[in-house]
Amino acid sequence: MSVEQTLSYSKIVERYAHFFDRPEVRLRFLNHTLAQQAASRERADALLARIPFLKRARLYDQALKLWLYHLIFQELGRLVPSATEERRRIKRLKGRAPLASRLLFDCYRHRRALAFPCLLLLAASLFGVYSGLAWSARRANDYLAARNHDGRQAAGKSWGQSAVYAQTPQGRLPDYRPEKVWLVEQGEGFERYSNGARVLTELETANRPRGYYLFRGGKAATDEGVKHEPVGIVYHTSESDMLPFTPDNNASIESRSRALLEYVRRNKSYNYVIDRFGQIYKIVRDEDAANHAGNSVWSDSTATYVGLNESFLGVCFETKTGEAEEQLTEAQLVAGRLLTQVLRSRHKIDDADCVTHALVSVNPSNMRICFHHDWAHGFPFGAFGLSDKYGVAPASVAEFGFTYDDDVVAELGGALWPGVGAGEEEFRQHAEGAGQRPEEARRMMRGVYRQQMELQSRARAADDEAKGVKVGAELALD
């Protein structure tokens, strides 16, 4: 121990020596405490001989100084053994020792009584820090969401134009941009994308080309021509037989998946299938319509779409509605999110047009919604980075007046999704605004829906015929 450290320690001990009025007790207290400190220093130096940088750190000197205070308080307790005598002496000698020394010694004497309040104070401080950080994170998230929210609002309420649309909620994936995902590699039987998605193309097949009109304000936008690019995604369940998802069923699960894929390819049922192991299969190519949605309706803030085979991609998960133990495997959740990002990036698909089959499916023969029940509830929109469409008023109800009966409610477990009620109220307001009773308005809109579906079919046929004439002319020129 250096001379400077010895003098520093001596000054500290001398301040506490003022608790004693007899010189020989002071000297004994001073010598014994410094001797113990020197011995402690030697033991610490020997222990840290192989770690010299710790000895040179300021923290080491501070630790030794704290140990010195421990020895001081220990020695004070030894030389003043009686509690009565301790109180009497400390009271009499209170003015002799420095204020800092008296405070530290009092804290040491009452350390057990102070332990519990100190723990409470520490816990309260940690909780305060945690609450502050959580509050700051929420404020930051709200700020980012406000900057990225597109603020689209409905232009007004009129027939054929729903005033309630799906929108990406504030705070949902603020950094997501469709252009962030691209094709990295295309090989024999597969495609690999920048977000990690791997799409198997060994079963890819062709079907009829897409062709559809947009409907705005209840009328077909024929002046815009026939559209061919997919604008949305409809999610389906395969409704095939399920085996328990356990290792001993691997071979049987694979066999059933293969049978499902062959059936889908033969019937051109979906554009994509995701099996239970999370493998993504492209079946009907994107530019062609798959037979997945049939009679169906959906709206966004720009247009209404009918017959979604033509305008929406069909993505099917190998699963079954109402399975108690499993809706989607973890692998399917990951694959579904990756495929959603790929398709949204490739075709610039808006979040508002990513929906489930049950929410778009209708039966025009009896004007009932939910003709197909897959994903009438429980679809994990949030896990796919999408807004929840169960709260959105479906166009089938809000625009065309489709209704439901007890059988539909029973099939869905006794309750419809919340958006149906909002759609019914919106349709009623439409009817009142037009001076009609809801029943009259429904009869009228039933005819409008059928006309639009027929126009959709004619548009596709006319487009096919026009393409055929163009090809024939090109061949004649050749």
pLDDT higher for 385 or 94?
Answer: 385
Q: Is 104 left (phi over 0), alpha (psi -120 to 50) or beta?
A: alpha
Round to whole Å and give the CA distance between 46 and 64.
14
> pLDDT category, 298, cuts 50, 70, 90?
very high
Whether the model clears a pTM of 0.75, i.e. scores above it, the answer is no
According to the model, what pLDDT value does residue 89 have?
Answer: 58
Round to whole Å and give the CA distance between 444 and 218.
12
Task: Report which listed range, 34-43, 120-129, 267-276, is most confident.
Answer: 267-276
User: Residue 403 carries which DSSP code?
Assistant: B
b/e burial code for range 331-345 (CB count within 10 A of at least 16 → b): ebbbbbbbbbbbbbb
> pLDDT category, 170, cuts 50, 70, 90?
very low
pLDDT higher for 108 or 67?
Answer: 67
pLDDT-above-70 percentage for the chain: 72
Residues facing 296 on adjacent strands: 361
User: What are the structural domain ranges in the chain?
Assistant: 3-109, 167-477
In this predicted structure, the answer to whether residue 168 has a pLDDT above a threshold of 50 is no
CATH level 3 topology of 167-477: Lysozyme-like (3.40.80)
